[in-house]
Structures are given as C-alpha cells and as structure tokens.
Amino acid sequence: MSIFDKFQQLVEDRKALLGGGGGDPFNVVINQVLSSTEAMVNGRRTILAGTNNYLGLTFDSGCIGAARIALEEQGTGTTGSRMANGTFENHVALERELAEFFHVGSAIVFSTGYLANLGLLSTLAGQDDVILLDADCHASIYDGCRMSDAEIIRFRHNNVSDLEKRLRRLGDRTSRTLIVVEGIYSMLGDRAPLKDIADIRTKYQSFLVVDEAHSLGVLGENGRGLAEEAGVEEKVDLIVGTFSKSLGATGGFCVSRHPELEMLRYTSRPYIFTASPSPSVIASTRTALQIIKTHPELRHRLWSSTTRLYERLRDMGFILGPEPTPVIAALVETKERGVELWSQLLERGVYVNLVLPPAAPNGGCLLRCSVSAGHSDEQIEKICQAFSSFS
C-alpha cells in the first residue's frame, strides 16, 4: 500500500473524463492577458467570461498606477505576518477605509478571502458554540467551521423554515450561535433571503455572518453588498469579503460593528502566521475601493450586460440559476457533455468555468459564466453566439 493509493480512483476518473481530448478545463494556461476581459489562450484570442472580475478593475489605470508606486517605494513583499513586521501604514489605512465604507467600527485585512473565513470562523466559534451554515456555503466557510471547536449544523440552501426549525431545537444555545450565509452564491448565482434570515437572527438573539465575496461592488446602492440591498446592515454582525473579485486583486477582510473583532488579531492563527499582503496589492485595492464608491456607472453597466446574457441564454433553452446575477450558470446533464461543450466554447474563443459534482447539483455539471462591467456589447453578443450553437 502507498500513501498515494487514495488518488488512484481520481486518476482513473480524470482520464476517462478527459480522454476524448479537447483540453483540460481545470488546467487552462493563459498565455497572455490582453485586458480585463480578453486573453490569448492556446494561441487564440479569447473572451474571459469566467474570471469574477465583476467591475473589470484589473487593468484600471488608477489601480495599476497605485500598485506601481507602492512596488517602487515599498518593495515586492512584506516578508512577515501582520503581528510581526508585516503591518505597513497602508494596511492600517485600508482597514480604516473598509470600516468607513461599511459604516462599522472595526476591520481586519487578511492575505486571502479564504484565510478571512478560516481566520474568523475557526477563532470566533468555540467549544460551547454552534455554527448554522447554509448547505451551499463556500469551501472556505466549511473549512473554517471544521477548524473551530463548535458544533456544526447545516440547513437546506436558502430555506428559512429549515433554518428556524434548527434554531428552535437549540433552545437557549441560540445566543451562542453563528448563522453563516453568502450574499451571492458562487455556483448558481442566487441571493440569500437575507431579510428573512436577519429577522430570524434577531428573534433568536443569534449572530449573523454574511460572506459578501461575490456581492461586494455588485449589490446595493453604494456597492456594499446584499446586506445593503436588503436593508439589514444593522442586523448583520460580521461581513467577510475578498479583494479577488470586484476589487481586482488578492486578499480578504472582515468587518464588524462589534469592537471585539479586534481580538482576532491576537487569537486567529491564519492571521498571526501568514505573511501579510504585498504593498502593491494593498495600494491597488485601496484605489479600487474608492472606484466602487465613486463610479456607480460600473454597476449599472454590469447589470445591463448581466440581464442581457441571462435572458438570451434562458431564451435559448438553457437551465439557469433562479435569478439573474453576474454569476450565470447553465446546467448540463452529464459531466461528459459538460467537458464537450466547455471545449467547444473555448474553440469559439470564449472561456467559462466548468463545475463538476458535488459542487454542481443533481449529478450534472455547470458551464459557469461571470459577467464583467468591462465586457463590451460585442463581447456579450459573441458569448451568446457561442452558446447558441448548442441550443
């Protein structure tokens, strides 16, 4: 027996799935990035329709300029954790600006969005606590829960009745319960029923955590996410997010109106033992946050393109998520068919994400698009035309 034997079935499954050729959907190499929405892939000019670059800020001149200055003045990296030598003045400034943006008192910046969930959940929830999480939550949320000592209970996706039933069973433990949901779920693009969930959180005197990774910069009049759109910001105890989507960089954060959040700096292992984000990343993220605040037209353009693509794919007969958001996923009946269609889309110059079970529902798979404010009308039309050959 070998320690690698556990992977043998995966090797065989992968070989069977990809044996027909057409490329590997999980190891796409981008040869040259041309813009926020185009790249050279396999020597072909390709529209990027699977990058989560919702506001198209990866090539914004202001973000690039800020990053360049920070790179030249502060170097390529911090070479230390936040608790050691890794807290620079701009880290503190970004935390202050995030707190001001969300109208709360405290903010902590992490090195990735994944680490933000790990750092918060593994530290905040202890042995006598309970975490109630939506079944469709991201892997980083599940991993953060597993690293905690709390009791972990799943409730059915977006099912408020199931959530309340499970809370009711906890009795007086509800005051030590974290409810964890997402603003926009990354597989089907649906929103959490956050107003109803927030009301239940208040009724049972629990605590509510919302991961706004895919909804920051996308939802709400000011781009603060689903909590703003639903009008329940005062009922949300903690918000987690990432820099790697609308903000066009890498990194993560947590904000809260509870001043006790600051204690995570002294207790959260993912925060204490991970090198802090590079100065150039912090600089570009600060600029991107200002753009979200001052350029609502980017959200307007994003939603115009989102509605257009969603309606066109729906009219072609594709089975989509329940509502239009910048995450638009078409359900395909089998994994084999999914790989085939993904390969054909790439040949037609359109890159999307292929999602396999168990992340995709009902044993099928998803062709997952993410719309960007950077997509031109012509690019949206080309994406539609590429899909139309399958309908």
Whether 186 is a known active-site residue: answer: yes
Active-site option among 91, 138, 214, 375: 214
Read off φ and ψ for residue 304, nearest 5 degrees: -65, -45
121-147 burial by CB neighbour count: b if 16+ within 10 A, else e? bbbbbeeebbbbbbebbbebbbebbeb
Whether 245 is a known active-site residue: answer: yes
For residue 28, how many C-alpha atoms fall within 13 Å in the half-sphere facing its CB?
26
In whole angstroms, what is the distance from residue 281 CA to residue 242 CA? 12
C-alpha angle with apex 383: 325 to 157, nearest 5 degrees? 30
How many other CB atoms are there within 10 angstroms of residue 296's CB atom? 12
Nearest to 215 by CA among 202, 198, 230: 230
Distances (CA, A) of 284 to 47, 51, 241, 281: 24, 18, 16, 5
Active-site option among 111, 186, 280, 372: 186
Q: Are 357 and 365 in contact (CB under 8 A)?
A: yes
In whole angstroms, what is the distance from residue 183 CA to residue 238 CA? 12
Nearest to 140 by CA among 43, 213, 33: 213
Read off φ and ψ for residue 223, nearest 5 degrees: 80, 15
Active-site option among 245, 278, 372, 375: 245
Q: Are 295 and 60 in contact (CB under 8 A)?
A: no
In whole angstroms, what is the distance from residue 360 CA to residue 43 CA? 30
In whole angstroms, what is the distance from residue 162 CA to residue 186 CA? 21
Nearest to 50 by CA among 25, 32, 21: 25
Read off φ and ψ for residue 122, nearest 5 degrees: -70, -20
Which residues are annotated as catalytic? Answer: 186, 214, 245
